[in-house]
């Protein structure tokens, strides 16, 4: 029942979170952690908190040797870089789960426009399955290349998908106000993530230009079966982990918050990681910290007939590495919660 797994990009934040979570997985043997910058080093020399618990020596990317015994490869590399390594692994017949944005957008031109990079090869793009289990479970089961969703799209889509079944909802009325912790930017320092810039500050960034806009629209278009243009503004906030999306949708029929809550609960009946709040209760990022949960609240403003939806995730878990492991579980026919069923860390 055990599968052999490798992580590529082992010293980045996503890679490190994969290592932490895979260590708790009963059916996984972490055979290799591949690092371009630190190969040959023991992991605990770079990250002393791993000592005596996960003892690995970092491998270099040597496709034939390091991946020989491996069944599944997690890629936690920057967008634009990942596609090249994924293509090599797929030539060897490896199952791949990619955390970057390289395989999420089905239209190559959209990828070029928003990521300003060359798109992945046509065959891999066509075969990649968008790894949002709550939407795509049946396709993920059969897939050998999973494009793990972006962090904001995970939070936004889980909050918005059930609205497609509410009569008279125009998805182009959707406004998403997103807030993220600084770990969302990865471990490399930039001026924006510098302590003196991000501490005691909340700041919008990539206004109207964020690469997750076409990803959210692509999935909403599938769900609503019509063209969708959304407004999305992300904000950097002074916390380490967490994504909170507060979203507004215009209603054209009269629906109560209680009716919507009932609808959301039946929509997510089989989805263990989505928790819908009772009326009047709203989640914060702390309610899901270090866990694979997505907590959702819904309210209706009867004065404006607008719905407010709040969705909270941990960007590194449900927004990246936890969801990637949820996808591994689905690909193997295991209970989706395997290795992930933990309480959020609180306070
Ligand atoms: N952080 C987050 O919350 C989320 C991240 N993602 C996506 O996951 C991926 C990883 O993100 P994250 O871990 O945060 O980023 P980091 O910058 O923390 O890590 C990326 C790692 O990739 C490796 N790497 C960097 N440049 C190159 C290169 N030119 N060639 C080969 N390897 C390289 C390095 O690890 P090494 O030297 O060890 O190989 C680096 O540490 C990205 O695509 C990101 O967009 C998706 C959702 C959420
Ligand atoms: C704080 C911060 O900068 N967060 C990043 C998260 C992006 C990410 O991880 O997404 P991709 O995988 O689509 O590149 C951002 O907003 O661009």
Residue 294: active-site member: no
Residue 150: the pLDDT is 98
- CATH T-level assignment (fold) for domain 152-315: Dihydrodipicolinate Reductase; domain 2 (3.30.360)
Ligand 2 atom with least separation from CA of 183: 1
**Domain layout of the chain by residue ranges:** 3-127, 152-315
CATH top-level class of 3-127: alpha beta
pLDDT along the chain (347 residues), means of 10: 96 98 98 97 98 97 89 98 97 97 98 98 97 98 98 98 95 96 97 97 98 98 97 98 98 95 98 98 98 98 96 99 98 98 97
Candidate of 320, 323, 326 to mutate for ligand 1, largest count of ligand atoms within 8 Å of Cβ = 320
Q: Identify the three-state secondary structure at position 130.
A: strand
Element (H, E) at 284: none
CA–centroid distance, 33 to ligand 1, in Å, is 13
Candidate of 13, 212, 233 to mutate for ligand 2, largest count of ligand atoms within 8 Å of Cβ = 212
Give the number of other Cβ atoms within 10 Å of residue 135's Cβ.
18
Per DSSP, helices labelled H in the chain are 13-22, 43-46, 63-66, 82-91, 108-115, 122-127, 133-141, 151-160, 195-198, 212-224, 257-267, 322-331
Residue 65: the pLDDT is 87
Let me know: does 283 contact 277? Beta carbons within 8 Å: yes
Instruction: Give the ipTM.
Output: 0.98
> Cα–Cα distance between 311 and 243 in angstroms, integer?
8
CA–centroid distance, 17 to ligand 1, in Å, is 11
Name residues contacting ligand 1 (CB within 6 A).
9-15, 35-38, 76-79, 81, 99-100, 150-151, 183-184, 186-188, 315-316, 319-320
Name residues contacting ligand 2 (CB within 6 A).
79, 100-101, 150-151, 180, 184-185, 211-212, 234, 236
Residue 1: the pLDDT is 80
Q: Identify the three-state secondary structure at position 274.
A: strand
């Amino acid at each position: 029942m055990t599968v052999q797994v490798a992580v590529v990009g082992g010293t980045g934040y996503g890679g490190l979170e994969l290592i932490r979570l895979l260590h708790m997985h009963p059916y996984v043997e972490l055979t290799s952690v591949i690092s371009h910058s630190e190969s040959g080093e023991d992991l605990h020399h770079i990250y002393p908190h791993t000592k005596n618990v996960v003892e690995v020596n970092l491998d270099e990317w040597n496709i034939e040797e390091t991946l020989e015994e491996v069944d599944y490869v997690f890629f936690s590399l920057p967008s634009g870089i990942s596609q090249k390594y994924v293509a090599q692994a797929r030539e060897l017949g490896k199952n791949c789960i990619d955390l970057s944005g390289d395989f999420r957008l089905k239209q190559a031109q959209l990828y070029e426009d928003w990521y300003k990079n060359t798109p992945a090869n046509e065959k891999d793009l066509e075969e990649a399955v968008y790894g949002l289990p709550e939407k795509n479970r049946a396709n993920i089961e059969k897939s050998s290349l999973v494009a793990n969703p972006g962090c904001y799209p995970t939070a936004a889509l889980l909050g918005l998908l059930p609205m497609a079944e509410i009569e008279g909802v125009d998805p182009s009325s959707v406004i998403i106000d997103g807030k993220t912790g600084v770990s969302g930017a990865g471990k490399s320092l930039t001026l924006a993530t510098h302590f003196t810039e991000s501490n005691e500050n909340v700041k919008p960034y990539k206004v109207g230009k964020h690469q997750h806009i076409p990803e959210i629209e692509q999935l909403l278009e599938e769900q609503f079966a019509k063209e969708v243009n959304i407004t999305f503004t992300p904000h950097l906030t002074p916390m380490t982990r967490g994504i909170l999306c507060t979203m507004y949708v215009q209603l054209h029929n009269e629906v109560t918050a209680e009716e919507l809550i009932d609808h959301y609960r039946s929509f997510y009946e089989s989805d263990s990681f989505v928790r819908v709040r009772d009326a009047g209760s709203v989640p914060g990022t702390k309610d899901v910290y270090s866990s694979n949960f997505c907590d959702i609240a819904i309210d209706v403003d009867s004065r404006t007939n607008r719905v407010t939806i709040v969705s909270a995730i941990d960007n590194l878990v449900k927004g990246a590495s936890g969801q990637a492991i949820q996808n591994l579980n689905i690909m193997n026919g295991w209970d989706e919660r395997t290795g992930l069923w933990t309480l959020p860390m609180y306070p």
